[in-house]
Amino acid sequence: MEHGDVNVVYSVQFELPLIMYIAQYFFFTGLSAGSFVISVIATMLGRKEFKPIGKITAILAPVLLIIAPLNLIADLEQPLRFWHLFLFYNWTSPITYGSFLLTAYPVMGIFYAAMVYTNRNTAAKVLGLMGIPLAISVHGYTGFILALAKARALWNTAAMPTIFLVSAMVSGIGLVIIIAAIRWKWFDRKSSPEQKEKDRKLILQLGQFMAYVLLLDLFLIMSDILVLLTAHEDAYEVGMLILTGNFAPLFVGVELILGAFIPLILIFGPRLRNSLTAVVVASILANIGVYAMRYVMVIGGQTVPLS
């Protein structure tokens, strides 16, 4: 240390501009984009057993994306001026991309859901394929919102948009699993036992899919942290904040252990492999983990004072 055994006292300003609403918004768009992608995959494969999942997710995506921007408007200091976003847009600001994407995407989602529910398969496929880039950008841009706010070392990394997209897939698949399991258990009385067994297998398969995406997410988080710890001073400081500092319980405890490692054990564990309960618990935990990730990113990123 450069000052030896001296005592240095600072007085600096500190405030948290972006609060819980923003973390919550990121979580909801993530859920929406993730479930839309699952829905389109199910539609594109066109197999009959995927139909129920395609339908559930087709309805989830626009509903979640109508809830999500309400968080944004609630976060504004002047909520009634939200229309300024459309009238006085600024193309260098990621929020401007967002305001247009957030308008276009739910509209597309509603049309897509209508096609899926009326069994117009070709139209659903075309709309779904057109919607995937929209779904990816509607969630990818949230990563850019953080990455381009370059004052904060935790946000200003190239990995940020990808981490957001991949964790969105995790939470989206998790939500689909939870809802499909509820439907399987309590609301699906008409199907034959063979059909029910098939549906159960399908949910288990989705669980496996989620686990692989979770592994990819873990790899991205690892590379992000590794680079943070070896990059410049601010990055090191914020890296240590989430690894060993005030945000360690949330980051290491909830996001990594509860939200990633335990779900992986529940899904890949040899005895639990065939258990629907294990997959559902894993999905709930993964969603809690992703929510914690949004919180750590948004609030933790702003915790280190800038002066």
Partner 1 sequence: MAEKRYAMVIDMRRCIGCHACTVACKAEMAVPLNVNATWLKIVEKGKYPDARKFFLPRLCNNCEDAICARNCPTKATYKRDDGIVMVDMHRCIGCKYCIASCPYDVRYINPLKNIVQKCYFCHHRVDAGLAPACVETCPTRAMIFGDKNDHTSEISQILATNATNVIKREMQTNPQVFYISADEAAMSSVQKRISYHTGEHYIKLRF
Nearer to partner 1, 81 or 198 (CB): 81
Binding segment for partner 1 (CB under 8 A), chosen from 112-120, 146-154, 160-168, 288-296, is: 146-154
Indicate which single residue of 63, 70, 114, 148 sits in contact with partner 1 (rule: CB under 8 A).
Answer: 148
CB of 54 to partner 1, least distance (A): 35
Does residue 149 touch partner 1 according to CB under 8 A?
yes
Nearest distance in Å: CB 251, partner 1: 16
Name the segment binding partner 1 (CB under 8 A); options: 44-52, 92-100, 214-222, 259-267: 92-100
Q: How far is the CB of 77 from partner 1 (least distance, A)?
A: 2
Distance CA(145)–CA(102), nearest Å, equals 14
Instruction: Write the Ramachandran bin of 119: left for phi over 0, alpha for psi from -120 to 50, otherwise beta.
Output: left
Name the minimum Å distance from CB 201 to partner 1. 46
Burial of 261 (C-beta count, 10 Å sphere; 0-12/13-18/19+)? middle
Q: Does the footprint of partner 1 cover residue 96 (CB under 8 A)? A: yes
- Cβ contacts of residue 299 below 8 Å, gap of 6+? 16, 19, 20, 23, 247
Count the neighbouring beta carbons within 10 Å of the beta carbon of residue 306. Answer: 11
CB of 156 to partner 1, least distance (A): 10
Part in contact with partner 1 (CB under 8 A); list of ranges 13-21, 170-178, 189-197, 253-261: 13-21
From the CB of 131, what's the least distance to partner 1, in Å?
24
Which segment (44-52, 177-185, 187-195, 229-237) binds partner 1 by CB under 8 A?
229-237
Q: Is 242:300 a contact under the CB 8 Å cutoff? A: yes
**C-beta of 158 vs 182, nearer to partner 1:** 158
Give yes or no for a contact between 147 and 161, defined as CB atoms under 8 angstroms apart. yes
Distance of alpha carbon 95 from its chain centroid, rounded? Answer: 18
Alpha-carbon torsion (285, 288, 294, 297), positive or negative: negative
Instruction: Determine contact, residues 210/278, Cβ cutoff 8 Å.
Output: no
Given candidates 47, 82, 198, 244, which one binds partner 1 under the rule CB under 8 A? 82
The CA distance from 2 to 32, in Å, is: 50
Region from 44-52, 114-122, 145-153, 277-285 binding partner 1, contact rule CB under 8 A: 145-153
The residue among 109, 137, 91 whose CA lies nearest residue 39 is 109
- Tokens 């919102």 correspond to 145
Residue with token string 């609060």: 19
Give the residues lining the site for partner 1 (CB under 8 A). 1, 3, 5-15, 17-18, 72, 75-78, 81-82, 84-85, 88-90, 92-96, 99, 145, 148-152, 232-234, 237, 246, 302-307
